[in-house]
Structure formats: C-alpha cells, structure tokens
Amino acid sequence: MKKKYLSIIIIALLFSCNEKTEISSISPENWSERAINLASKDSLEFGKSYLSVYSQIYSNTEHRTHNLTSMISMRNTSELDTIYLLRAEYYDTNGKSVRKYFDSPIFLAPMETTEIIIDEIDVSGGTGSNFILEWKIPKNCPEPIFEGIMTSTMGQQGLSFTTQAKRIK
C-alpha cells in the first residue's frame, strides 16, 4: 500500500515539474489587430522616450543576481484623442537590440493602456536593459506615459519597484 502512494506522489511530482519555459509577451496577434496606417495623419507630433527596465538585479554581491518579471505599461493619457506607438524596442545592458515588439504603428484609444511583459526566465536584457519608445500624438494632446514595473517573489520575500520613461526627443 505504501508503494502505491509513493508511486502516485512521484508521478504527481513529475507532471507538476513539467513547467513551460516559453518566453512570451502580449500575443503578436494583438499587435497586428492594433496596426494602423499613418500616411494620412502627417500633422502629428513625434516623440521618443527612454525607459530603463531590469531583467535582473544584483543581490549581496556583483556575482549574485535575482531575475525579475518586467511589465512595460504604455498609457494614453488623453480623454479625447487616439495616440500612435511607432516603435517599442528592447535593448540589453550592452546596448544591443534584443527584440522589437511590433513592425507597424499601433494605436491606443483614449485612456487605453497596453503592456509588454518580459517573463522572469527571460534574462536576455541583463541588469541594465532598456526600451526606446517612439510615438505620435495630435497637436495639444497630452504625452503618453511609459512605466516599467519590476517584480519578483522568492519564498516569503517579495520585491517590486517602478521606473518612468524620460522623453529624449
């Protein structure tokens, strides 16, 4: 009888350890559903923002790091106007492009928010990763807000902090 219970426990443990290690973000299909042609909207104001995010942070020494989940929050702060995101590109600590999140401009409706999620297992950005975000807005429209929210939990300890983008153009 003990062998039967032991076998059941071992099988349950084996199946529970079969965790997916897929690196993901918001589905690419969502980006294509948001795609828009901006050719007829040439009176829009262009902007570029820099956002620091962290895939990892140091702990105790420079030889020990903790992995983090990062959420890049992209917010339209206008109650009236649709805004357009032209580029969201992720760079690693060394300044090399890791990935671009959409190939065509996308829109954000008034007061809408969308996110990019960088999974905790994705450490390709390292300790000094960052984003360049390019956008266009109608004249007299408030600028979008871009924030990074980094989180991690280990045992009973939780860690979270935020960063805010800085307009660079």
At 2-39, the pLDDT tens digits run 666 555 555 555 555 544 444 445 555 567 777 788 77
Q: Which residue has the higher pLDDT, 146 or 57?
A: 146
In whole numbers, what is the pLDDT of the chain averaged over residues? 84
| CATH number (domain holding residue 75) | 2.60.290
Query: Strand ranges (DSSP E) for the chain?
Result: 45-52, 56-59, 61-67, 69-75, 83-91, 97-100, 106-108, 113-118, 130-137, 145-154, 157-164, 166-167
Domain count, the chain: 1
Task: Answer whether residue 127 shows pLDDT above 80.
Answer: yes
Residue at 126 is within a domain? yes
Residue at 28 is within a domain? no
The confidence score (pLDDT) of residue 20 equals 47
- Condensed to tens digits (0 to 9), the pLDDT of residues 36-63 reads 887 766 789 999 999 999 988 888 788 8
| Beta-carbon-side half-sphere exposure of residue 94 (alpha carbons within 13 Å) | 3
Residue at 82 is within a domain? yes
**Number of CB atoms found within 10 A of residue 43's CB:** 8
Considering the chain, what percentage of its residues have pLDDT values greater than 90? 56
Buried b (16+ CB within 10 A) or exposed e, 44-75: beebebebebbbbeeeeeeeebeebbbbbbbb
Residues of the domain holding 92:
42-167
> What is the DSSP code (8-state) at residue 52?
E
Q: Which residue has the higher pLDDT, 1 or 74?
A: 74
Residue at 90 is within a domain? yes
pTM, 2 dp: 0.79
